[in-house]
């Protein structure tokens, strides 16, 4: 029996993570292009909608919250409309905004992406890079000294807007070391020495080569060696787009983590999603290899969505299943928690023989499920692993429950709306009411 994937995800704990970094207001202006401007050879975007979302470190925080972590966000905003909008949007998502510090004369960075038919045609940036005000830095350090002990891990999201100054970083690493709290870094810039003391630094391929001052054809091991010489970190994780991720330890031992082929719609924010998943996994004390595999899946799901996507626990689970059909197989009613608040069609399979009648029933259920999930429960008497694997591989089957009796006690988590019984299996439509 393939080990239930939920057993891995179940190890993700209710952790509290401090996210520290640059805040950006992400704006998405969507519309259609139907003609070229008579004023210049440029497309005319007929705008249909405009949406706004906290970006940068804000997007990391949103992804962590969506994955189930408790998050404290610390960053800088200006006394302007964009800064007020970020604060409002976070409050609307029930974030505590005490960690948002206002710097006078600071222009809150704003990125407006113009999108026509799901394709980004241009991005307009409004920003003025200024270092953090010294008095404000002292306030932030004081805030961190009082609150840092409440957290399991610190995630730094550096977008190079001037908030994470070398002096602030030095103080953050000093406080973290004093309290034995691990720090993860999504870096920016040419100098990684400012991140010395990090548990893990996660540059993308271009950032790694730039910081190592290496030519693009240099071996990745050479890049890693130079970065380890420059910064005293425990691990270096280089994200490499379609090549997946590569992890280096201090001894330069290497592990490659390939990524499944995805339909790329928009790469915006995929790095934020990866950082969030890695932070959650490490804070939960999952093995680093497992954590990176989950981050690969989460960031792969993010690029299939338009804009900065928030990836949830359920999204990651379905991503695991998509990459491994046998991962549909579960051995316990943990599935009730995973499919929280989703409508489900349940087939109770009692016939141990593979028959056309059984497959007709599964096909019928698959066709009528609509947006519901199709779950097949195999009775405890059926221990034929090949049979179970065959059911899991069938198109339209979302999950298979095997060797777990569906007792009346277990079914208290669900409201049965309709039951149709046949000689070899019964079909139940139910609404998950797991609490």
Domain chopping of the chain, boundaries: 5-323, 326-432
| pLDDT reported for residue 407 | 56
Sequence-distant (6+) residues with CB within 8 A of 9 are 294, 313, 316, 317, 320, 338
* Residues of the chain where predicted confidence (pLDDT) is lower than 50: 1-5, 264-266, 414-426, 429-435
Say whether 217 is catalytic: no
97: exposed, middle or buried (C-beta count within 10 Å: 0-12, 13-18, 19+)? middle
How open is the CA angle 345-347-348, to the nearest 5 degrees? 140
Q: What separation in angstroms does the CA of 304 have from each of 297, 299, 320?
A: 11, 9, 15
* Annotated catalytic residue within 266, 272, 315, 398: 272
Sequence-distant (6+) residues with CB within 8 A of 25 are 52, 53, 54, 55, 82, 83, 85, 86, 108, 109, 110, 111
Distance of alpha carbon 155 from alpha carbon 176, whole angstroms: 11
Residues 180/211, Cβ–Cβ less than 8 Å: no
| pLDDT reported for residue 353 | 62
pTM for this entry? 0.79
Sole residue written with tokens 């999603």 = 273
Any idea which fold 5-323 has?
3.40.1190
Any idea which fold 326-432 has?
Nucleotidyltransferase; domain 5 (3.30.420)
């Amino acid at each position: 029996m393939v080990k239930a994937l939920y057993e891995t995800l179940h190890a993700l704990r209710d952790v509290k993570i401090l996210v520290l970094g640059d805040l950006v207001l992400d704006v998405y202006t969507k519309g259609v292009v139907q003609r070229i401007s008579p004023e210049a050879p440029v497309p005319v975007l007929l705008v249909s909608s405009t949406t706004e979302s906290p970006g940068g470190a804000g997007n990391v925080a949103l992804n962590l919250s969506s994955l189930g972590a408790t998050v404290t966000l610390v960053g800088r905003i200006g006394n302007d409309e964009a800064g007020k909008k970020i604060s409002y949007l976070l409050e609307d998502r029930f974030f505590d905004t005490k960690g948002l510090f206002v710097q006078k004369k600071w222009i809150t960075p704003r990125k407006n992406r113009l999108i026509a038919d799901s394709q980004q045609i241009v991005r307009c940036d409004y920003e003025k890079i200024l270092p953090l005000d010294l008095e404000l830095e002292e306030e932030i350090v004081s805030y961190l000294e009082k609150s840092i002990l409440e957290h399991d891990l610190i995630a730094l999201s550096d977008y190079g807007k001037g908030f994470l100054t070398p002096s602030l970083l030095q103080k953050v690493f000093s406080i973290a070391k004093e309290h034995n709290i691990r720090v993860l870094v999504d870096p920016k810039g040419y100098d990684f020495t400012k991140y010395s003391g990090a548990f893990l630094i996660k540059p993308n391929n271009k950032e790694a080569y730039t910081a190592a001052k290496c030519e693009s054809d240099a071996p990745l091991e050479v890049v890693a060696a130079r970065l380890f010489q420059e910064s005293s970190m425990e691990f270096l994780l280089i994200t490499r787009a379609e090549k997946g991720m590569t992890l280096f330890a201090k001894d330069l031992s290497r592990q490659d983590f390939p990524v499944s082929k995805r339909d790329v719609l928009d790469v915006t924010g995929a790095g934020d999603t990866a950082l969030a998943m890695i932070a959650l996994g490490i804070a939960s004390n999952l093995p680093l290899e497992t954590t990176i595999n989950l981050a690969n899946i989460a960031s792969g799901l993010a690029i299939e969505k338009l804009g900065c996507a928030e990836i949830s626990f359920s999204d990651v689970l379905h991503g695991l299943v998509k990459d491994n059909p046998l991962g549909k197989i579960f051995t316990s009613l943990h599935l009730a928690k995973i499919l929280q608040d989703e409508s489900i069609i349940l087939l109770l399979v009692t016939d141990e023989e593979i028959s056309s009648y059984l497959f007709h029933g599964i096909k019928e259920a698959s066709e009528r499920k609509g947006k519901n999930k199709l779950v097949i429960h195999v009775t405890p008497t059926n221990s034929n692993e090949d049979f179970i694997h065959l059911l899991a591989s069938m198109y339209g089957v979302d999950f298979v429950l095997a060797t777990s009796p569906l007792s009346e006690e277990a079914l208290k988590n669900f409201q049965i709306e309709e039951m149709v019984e046949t000689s070899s299996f019964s079909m139940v439509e139910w609404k998950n009411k797991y609490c």
